[in-house]
Amino acid sequence: MTKRTLGILSSTIAAMGVLVGSAAALEVASSTTVAGTPDSVWKKIGDFCAIQTWHPGVSKCEQTDEAGATYRTLTATDGGTIKEKLVEQTDTSYTYEIIESPLPVEDYQATISVSAEGDRTRVDWKGSFDAKGQSDAEAKTVISDIYKAGLEQIAKMGGN
């Protein structure tokens, strides 16, 4: 290759990086610290459909298996539904993605996890997504409010 060709190629790759970088996903992360061990807290919140017992915005959760993958359909207290797919699960976390939802997000993936923090347990909920139909700030506020409501309820429940 000539120096000119290498220069053009380098400029093209650099420009592609700028384009990809400018389309970075939005991120929201929230956490709370609760009484109890990670194991005791995870027993209360770690089942994929346990969200119906600890999130005040979820009135019902139905879990299904489709083609070897695990899904849950959440019914919100306002009647809306969200279909989510379990992507990965460990003894202290799970990662999921939204498949169908009225929320102002797309390409959404999140992880909820527990870890020891002294004699208490830290619960982390973090997600990345793109805004859909609303501004980035509005989409981040919606997701942040969802996390906050769930984590507040987990904190009230504790792990004991």
Q: Which carries the bigger pLDDT value, residue 120 or residue 18?
A: 120
Domains and CATH numbers, the chain: 28-158 (3.30.530.20)
- Which residue type sits at 84? E
Q: How far apart are CA 118 and CA 37, in angstroms?
A: 9
- What are the pLDDT digits (tens) for 80-123? 999 999 999 999 999 999 999 999 999 999 999 999 999 999 99
- What are the pLDDT digits (tens) for 49-78? 999 999 999 999 999 999 999 999 999 999
Average pLDDT over residues 110-138: 97
Model-level pTM?
A: 0.83
Average pLDDT over residues 15-34: 71
